[in-house]
Amino acid sequence: MKVAAHIAVALAQAGLLVLLGPLVTGFVQKLKARLQCRQGADLWQPYRDLWKLLRKGTVQSDTASPFFQVVPVLALAATVVSATMMPVLWAPTDIVPVPLGDAILLLALLALARFVTAIGAFDAGGAFGGMGASREMTVGLLVEPALMMVVFSIAVVGGTTDLGDIAARRSTLAALSWQAPDLLALFALLVLIPAEAGRIPVDNPDTHLELTMLHEGMLLEHSGPGLACLALATHTRQLIVINLVAALFLPVGMAHGMSPVELAVALAAFAAKTLVLATFLGVVESSYAKLRFFRVPQFLGLGLLCAFLSLALRIL
Amino acid sequence: MSPEMATRLIDDLGALLLVTMLIILASGQLFRAIYAVAAQAVFLGIAGAVLAAATGNVDLWVIAGITIVIKAVALPWLLIWVVKRIQMCREIEPVIPISVTLAFAAAIVMLSFHLSASLGPVRQAVTGNALPVGIALTLLGVLVMASRKKALTQMVGLFASENGIFFVAMAVSQGMPLIIEIGVILDVVLGALVMGIMVLRVRSTVDTDIADLETLKG
């Protein structure tokens, strides 16, 4: 019974992340538009785009193998499964019957989604897809180890890699109990979020100019419902990364029980944290230019170094 | 303010000093490095204020104030003024690639934490992680000076290095005599002025870069 309830909660939280993912993208785009003195599309535009794509037919390149068709589904599935590991509203304080929520598995699933998308891009045989995939993997090479090190640096304190457990432990502490490595790790994550969410200064989500595409380049050959799946996976991934920051560093207000009041507080806290971090993404995106690709390793190197040092300080 | 609280705050500020130092190292633009070194001086001033509140040493308040006024406002302003005056290229020209510098930086920070662990008795006397952070800042400042071609970026490295020494000095001695601190700050100001003027003069008389002086070797 307890196991079933736990799985139901995890699924509900994943559903929340998937449903709200496009809204966060819509918010960032609206914020960007306002900062550029434009009216901008309204918040629900990403949902409309998804709906439009779902009703369209699929066109596929002649060189693509049958695997190409399952790529969007696999990428979306990996992302949604990783969303189930995320403590969104509810962080249990007691022993969890099923270990849902392992941070290493979460990052591995996100990496799997990235890998599958890249394979699909190569499979279609387009030049842009291959280029985008190769660039995306280069960025992934720098981002993933840094994220791992940030997570480890936090996990060393709690003695567990279970995200729900970490969030529950840390939510009982005040923000002042932050130690020096936490600051370094937070800074590292703030450098890494734009890269992981596919935003400026690493990637530009709005462009379809061949030389500047990273993530978009990989999606070029997809169409119709497949493209909708990949777009939804991108929205969800962005919200997962935002939530990872919140769960690791600001797990304030998470529900430990199941009472409606606690859940309402948790929902408000979740909305507030997401809003703050989405605003951060939007403001960064509006105030910086996209980096030249060969500058990206230097920029991400800063995040990698901070993550490394935060882990080193924790152990030394 | 309780000693534990002070230790924790000094630790956190040490981490912020390290972050600003890494930004200086990773920045490809001169202005970003200058703003980062100004932010570093602000954190240093806050650390001084924290120590002053913890120890009740009045001199430390004065020093914190002077640090913020001179190192966080006056000196960065001077650097920016010089940059605008000589209308130089605002890209930083590293001698070795910046990613390599960052790898060096990681090694240096690890090394300074490892070394200061062997200085047991000294480390006991220092608040929190101030000693390894100070050593790391000093060495990283030297790294900035060694790995950049432009005189102005080398000045940024010098300031950062000096910030590191200042941080340790404050934490070790719980505040040195005021006259010594003021002397040290005056030294830095004088050094900055001399270097700033020299950069201007070199630029206006021979129109060359500091790196070109290398060719003068016999």
Q: What is the pLDDT of residues B43-86, one digit of tens each?
A: 999 998 988 888 888 888 888 898 899 889 998 998 888 888 87
Per-residue buried b or exposed e for A258-279, using 16+ beta carbons within 10 Å of the residue's own CB: eeeebeebbeebbeebbeebbe
Residue B112 forms contact with A (CB below 8 Å): no
A312 touches chain B (CB under 8 A): yes
Which of B9-18, B83-92, B183-192 has the largest mean confidence?
B9-18
* Whether the Cβ atoms of residue A220 and residue A126 lie closer than 8 Å to each other: yes
What confidence category does residue B189 fall into, taking pLDDT thresholds of 50, 70 and 90? confident
Tell me the ipTM for this assembly.
0.83
Q: In this complex, which of B12, B26, B113 lies closest to A302 when CB atoms are compared? A: B26
Helix residue ranges per DSSP H, chain B:
3-26, 30-55, 58-66, 75-86, 98-118, 120-125, 130-147, 151-173, 178-206
Whether A269 and chain B come into contact, CB under 8 Å, resolves to no
pLDDT band at B196 (very low <50, low <70, confident <90, very high): confident
pLDDT at position B131 is 84
Predicted pLDDT of residue A228: 95
Question: Who has greater pLDDT, A290 or B37?
Answer: B37
Block residue for tokens 């007691």: A94
Q: Which of A187, A305, A316 sits opposite B102 (nearest CB)?
A: A305
User: Domain range for residue A34?
Assistant: 2-315
DSSP secondary structure, A156-174, as one string = HHHT--BHHHHHHHHHTS-
Which residue in the block uniquely carries the two structure tokens 């419902």?
A225
Q: Residue B132 falls within a domain, yes or no?
A: yes
Among B8, B26, B106, whose Cβ lies nearest the Cβ of A308? B106
Q: Which residues of B199-218 are buried (b: 16+ CB within 10 A; e: fewer)?
A: beebbeeeeebbeeeeeeee
> Taking Cα atoms as reference points, which of B104, B169, B110, B170 lies closest to residue B142?
B104
Domain-located, residue B103: yes
Residue identified by tokens 């981002």 is A143
Domain count, chain B: 1
Contacts of B23 in chain A (CB under 8 A): 302
Q: How many CB atoms lie within 10 A of CB B115?
A: 13
What whole-number distance in Å separates Cα of residue B127 and Cα of residue B174?
A: 9
Of A19, A71, A187, which Cα lies nearest the Cα of B18?
A187
Query: Token digits for B13?
Result: 């500020």
Assigned domain for B216 exists: no
Contact status of A190 with chain B (Cβ, < 8 Å) = no
Q: Is A184 on the interface with B (CB under 8 A)?
A: yes
**Which residues in chain B touch residue A179, judged by CB atoms under 8 angstroms apart?**
8, 11-12
Which residues of chain B from 81 to 100 reach within 8 Å of chain A, CB to CB?
98-99
A254 contacts chain B (CB < 8 A)? no
Cβ within 8 Å, pair B110-A181: no
Chain A contact for B113 (CB, 8 A cutoff):
yes
Instruction: Give the position of tokens 């799985």.
Output: A7
Q: Please check the confidence at residue B123 and state whether its pLDDT lies above 70.
A: no
DSSP A108: H
Length of chain B: 218
Q: Do A183 and B99 touch (CB under 8 A)?
A: no
Residue with tokens 């204020």: B49
CA–CA separation, A130 vs A124, rounded Å?
A: 9
Q: What is the CA radius of gyration of chain B?
A: 18
pLDDT of residue B16: 92
Of A182, A298, A306, the CB nearest to B98: A298
What pLDDT is recorded for position A96? 64
Contact A86, A238 (CB under 8 A): no
Find the CB nearest B22 among A176, A177, A306: A306
> Can you list the residues of chain A whose pLDDT is less than 70?
1, 93-99, 171-177, 210
Rounded Cα–Cα distance for residues A202 and A187 (Å): 16
Bond prior to A225 in cis (omega within 30° of 0)? no
Q: Does A288 touch chain B (CB under 8 A)?
A: no
**Which position has the token pair 């842009």?**
A128
Task: Quote the minimal CA–CA distance from B4 to chain A in Å.
Answer: 11
Could you tell me if residue B214 is inside a domain?
A: no
CA distance A192 to chain B (A): 14
**How far is A298 from B26, CA to CA, in rounded Å?**
7
Q: Is residue B21 part of a domain?
A: yes
Total Cβ atoms within 10 A of residue A197: 26
Residue B26: give the domain boundaries: 3-202
The shortest C-alpha distance from B205 to chain A (Å) reads 35
**pLDDT number for residue A179:** 79
Give the residue among B30, B32, B49, B24 at the shortest CA–CA distance from B161: B24
How many C-beta atoms lie closer than 10 Å to residue A24's C-beta? 25
* A95, A50 contact by CB (below 8 A): no
Q: Indicate the DSSP class of residue B70.
A: I
Q: For an interface test with A, which of B2, B19, B139 has the most A Cβ atoms less than 10 Å from its Cβ?
A: B19
What distance in Å separates the CA atoms of residue A155 and residue A160, rounded to the nearest whole number? 5
The answer, for A70 touching chain B at a CB cutoff of 8 Å, is: no
Nearest chain A residue to B15 by CA: give it.
Answer: A180
Residue B207 lies in a domain: no
How high is the pLDDT of residue A116? 94
Q: Do A316 and B12 touch (CB under 8 A)?
A: no
Give me the helix-helix angle, B151-173 and B178-206, nearest 10°.
180
| Interface size, chain A vs chain B, as Cβ–Cβ contacts under 8 Å | 61
Number of folded domains that form chain A: 1
Distance from CA of B70 to the nearest CA of A (A): 26
In this structure, are residues A30 and A281 in contact, taking their beta carbons and an 8 Å threshold?
A: no
Q: Could you tell me if residue B149 is inside a domain?
A: yes
pTM for the model: 0.88
What whole-number distance in Å separates Cα of residue B207 and Cα of residue A211?
Answer: 38
Q: Using a CB-CB distance cutoff of 8 angstroms, which residues of chain A are in contact with residue B109?
A: 309, 312
Q: Which residue of A has its CA nearest to B98?
A: A298
Q: Decide if B99 and A299 are in contact by the 8 Å CB cutoff.
A: no
Q: Choose the mutation target among A173, A183, A186 for the interface with B, i.e. most B CBs under 10 Å.
A: A183
Residue B210 lies in a domain: no
- In chain B, positions 114-153, which contact chain A (CB-CB < 8 Å)? 114, 117, 129
Contact between residue A123 and residue A67 where contact means Cβ atoms under 8 Å apart: yes
pLDDT at A97: 63
Least confident of A23-32, B16-25, B142-151: B142-151
